[in-house]
Structure 1
Amino acid sequence: MTALILGAVVFAVLFASFSALGVWQVQRLAWKQELIRQVDARIHAAPVAAPPPDQTITRQADQYRR
């Protein structure tokens, strides 16, 4: 009887762990597809003038900018 309960607990823990990993992979896929979309949009955008020397360049605003 104890082996059956122990087996059920191990199964439940493994099932929860693998389910969490699956959800994480799907979220990671969505994040990566959005990142690829942003890079692709900026790479193919029209070129813009260089910022003036007094302007701060940030990764968020200027990454992959032409």
Structure 2
Amino acid sequence: MTFIQYTFGIRSMRKTIEEVEKNMAYRWFLGYGFQRAIASTNHPNTLVRHAHFYHSVQKAKTIKKW
């Protein structure tokens, strides 16, 4: 989900979840079925994964500048 957030410039995880709930292409890309519930930002692991991905992207940007 953070890949979609970063790729499409969505600023918050809450907004990303809303977009994934509405957009069938996003659901398909993530492997969610039509009835499957989308993860909530209230779950700690979701926020930890999001933070880890963000820091990985920032690290990759710094390495790319070299």
* TM-score for both structures, normalised by structure 2: 0.36
Bigger CA radius of gyration = 1
Structure having greater relative contact order (Cα 8 Å, sep ≥ 6): 1
* TM-score for both structures, normalised by structure 1: 0.36
